[in-house]
Amino acid sequence: MKNSVQEIRKTIPSTQRDADIFIEEAIRFHRKIRQDGLCLGIDEYFFRLTLDEALQNSLHHGNAGDSGKRIHIAITPSDKTLTITVRDEGEGFSPKSVRDPRSPDNVTRPGGRGLHLIKNFGQARWNEEGNEITIILDEERAGNANQ
């Protein structure tokens, strides 16, 4: 394995522009670690979608659109998994309170779809306050999007 940056840790302002810029940086990082032989089975599409959903939740729900707040992000690869941690400065929430968007009663209601996607692509857990999510992407769930 070549020498490479093995982790990204960054704090960004809670704005869509900064989230978009960070996602592009994270995609370059993902491509680099794959060149170095890490996370070869983690598809870029699923990585991008999962990271974007976590950031959108922090921007719009956690920090409630307050551009004075910040979002703290860490991305840590291992041989076959990629761990994404996103923490906002909001009050937090209980993940159990989010309705299942697949339920017939909720199909037309907004909310819950991003968390549903995140949980389908990786293992998700929250801190006690509910303002930090850690997502572990693995090859089995976040593998080839073309299959």
| Tokens matching residue 16 | 């869509």
DSSP category for residue 44: H
pLDDT tens for residues 20-69?
Answer: 999 999 999 999 999 999 999 999 999 999 999 999 999 999 999 999 99
Lowest mean pLDDT among 19-23, 62-66, 119-123, 134-138: 119-123
- For residue 42, the model assigns a pLDDT of 94
Q: How many whole angstroms separate alpha carbon 92 and alpha carbon 123? A: 19
Q: How many whole angstroms separate alpha carbon 22 and alpha carbon 51? A: 10
Which residue segments constitute the domains of the chain, with CATH numbers given?
Answer: 8-138 (3.30.565.10)
pLDDT tens for residues 67-116?
Answer: 999 999 999 999 999 999 999 999 988 777 666 756 677 556 666 667 76
Residue 139: band (very low, low, confident or very high) from pLDDT cuts 50, 70, 90: confident
Query: Is residue 112 within 8 Å of 100, Cβ to Cβ?
Result: yes
> Rounded to whole angstroms, what are the CA distances from 2 to 32, 41, 61?
10, 18, 39
